[in-house]
Amino acid sequence: MSGDVKDQIIEEIKASPIFAIQADESTDVAMACQLLVYCRYLFKGIIKEEFLCCENLETSSTATDVMNAVSSFFEKLTSMLNLRLQGKDSNLLSHCDSLHALLAKLELCKKRVSVGNFMMFPSLNEVLADGQLSSTLSKEIMDHLSQLDDEFRHYFPDLSPQHAGLAENPFLCQVDDVLEDAQGEFIELIHDSTAKNVFPSNSLSSFWCSMMESYPKTRDLAVRVLLPFASTYLCESGFSSLLAIKTKSRNELSVEDDLRCALAATEPRIHELVAQKQKQKSH
């Protein structure tokens, strides 16, 4: 069954014009380093998430080993694909919104602390009551908040991916914000009353997938924002299943087939599998 599910997923990925990969590694009960790989791709008008493979990292778990394992899997099974490694149901837009909100809160905290207002720190505010915090401690708090702000801006220097505004709401986007090659098509989209009417009632992924035939260039720009994984949620939940399947009493188990049956959204084609089996003649 696992092989049948894998065959279906590979064919679906081949038919998708673009896809994204999520990969993470962990050590199982047998102290073997296991790499879980998920894929996100376009399928039948939706963005589909699927468990792809579980690879045993024979040497170590360095970034090079992880990338080699992922590349090896695709070289064996999907040589027709253009390999694009990009790193539940979250996307870059929602995560960028959360990070923007966090940075704004840090700025508000710094502004309040600078005038001796600690209401955003309820425990500290309760201890202080009517008392005043020493200038030394105030400075330490300000320095800490500034350090947090610098750290976030260092790790996330550009919180707005290219064409984020287009993906989030094309009808509020300006023509000059779209690649020149897609501007003509984009103008047709924003003047399409049917598209404008269905946009509010659909999720971003559903809306843009439905634009595949009518506005392919504009759709591709938006999907490249929505498709990449924004977190390792699926891999982390997959490791929980791995620990449940590969226990101390089954520490020699090769888990990929069992994991695929447990984690994949694609159903095995039972009727086709049964039809391939030879019927046993009655005695």
| Region 273-278 average pLDDT | 80
pLDDT value at residue 165: 86
Same domain, 100 and 83: no
Query: Which domain range does residue 235 map to?
Result: 2-89+229-275
User: Cβ contacts of residue 83 below 8 Å, gap of 6+?
Assistant: 71, 74
In a domain, 281, yes or no: no
User: Where does the pLDDT of residue 25 fall: very low under 50, low under 70, confident under 90, or very high at 90 and above?
Assistant: confident
User: Last residue of a domain, which of 112, 135, 155?
Assistant: 155
Does residue 46 sit in the same domain as residue 106? no
pTM: 0.57
Mean pLDDT score, 155-184 = 84
Flag whether 62 is in a domain. yes
Residue owning tokens 């050590």:
27
**23's tokens:** 């990969």
- Does residue 181 share a domain with residue 169? yes
State residue 125's pLDDT score. 63
Using H for helix, E for strand and C for coil, what is the string for 144-181? HHHHHHHHHHHHCCCCCCCCHHHHHCHHHCCHHHCCHH
CB 165 within 8 A of CB 173: yes
pLDDT bracket for residue 192 (50, 70, 90):
very high
pLDDT tens-digit profile of 238-264?
Answer: 888 888 888 776 766 778 888 888 888
For residue 196, which amino acid is it?
Answer: K
CB atoms within 10 A of CB 207: 20
Rg over alpha carbons for the chain, rounded to the nearest Å, is: 25
Is the same domain home to 6 and 82?
yes
Residue 282 inside a domain? The answer is no
The three-state secondary structure class of 49 is strand
Q: Based on the domain organization, do 145 and 186 belong to the same domain? A: no
Beginning with the edge strand found earlier in the chain, give each strand of the sheet holding 19-27 in spatial order: 19-27, 33-43, 46-57
φ, ψ at 147 (rounded to 5°): -65, -40
**Would you state the pLDDT for residue 76?**
53
User: Has residue 283 been placed in a domain?
Assistant: no
Residues 51, 72 within the same domain? yes
State which of 191, 206, 226 marks the end of a domain: 226
Residue range 105-141, pLDDT digits in tens = 888 888 888 887 777 766 666 666 555 667 777 788 7
Helices 135-155, 92-114: inter-axial angle, 10-degree rounding = 160
Do 116 and 193 belong together in one domain? Answer: no
70 and 10 belong to one structural domain: yes
Claim to verify: residue 6 and residue 83 sit in the same structural domain:
yes
Residue 36: HSE in the Cβ half-sphere, 13 Å Cα cutoff: 27
Q: Select from 226, 246, 263 the last residue of a domain.
A: 226
Is the predicted pLDDT of residue 283 greater than 70, yes or no?
no
DSSP 280: P
pLDDT in the model for residue 83: 36
More confident residue, 269 or 96: 269
pLDDT of 266 strictly over 70: yes
Look at the chain and report how many structural domains it folds into.
Answer: 3
Residue 171: predicted pLDDT: 93
- Of 176 and 97, more confident: 176
The stretch 186-202 carries a mean pLDDT of: 93
Q: How confident is the model at residue 225 (pLDDT cuts 50, 70, 90)?
A: confident
57/101 same-domain check: no
172 falls within a domain: yes
**pLDDT, mean of residues 56-77:** 54
Q: Where does the pLDDT of residue 54 fall: very low under 50, low under 70, confident under 90, or very high at 90 and above?
A: confident
Q: Are residue 114 and residue 102 in the same domain, yes or no?
A: yes
Domain presence at residue 180: yes
Mean pLDDT score across all residues of the chain: 78
Q: Give yes or no for a contact between 230 and 92, defined as CB atoms under 8 angstroms apart.
A: yes
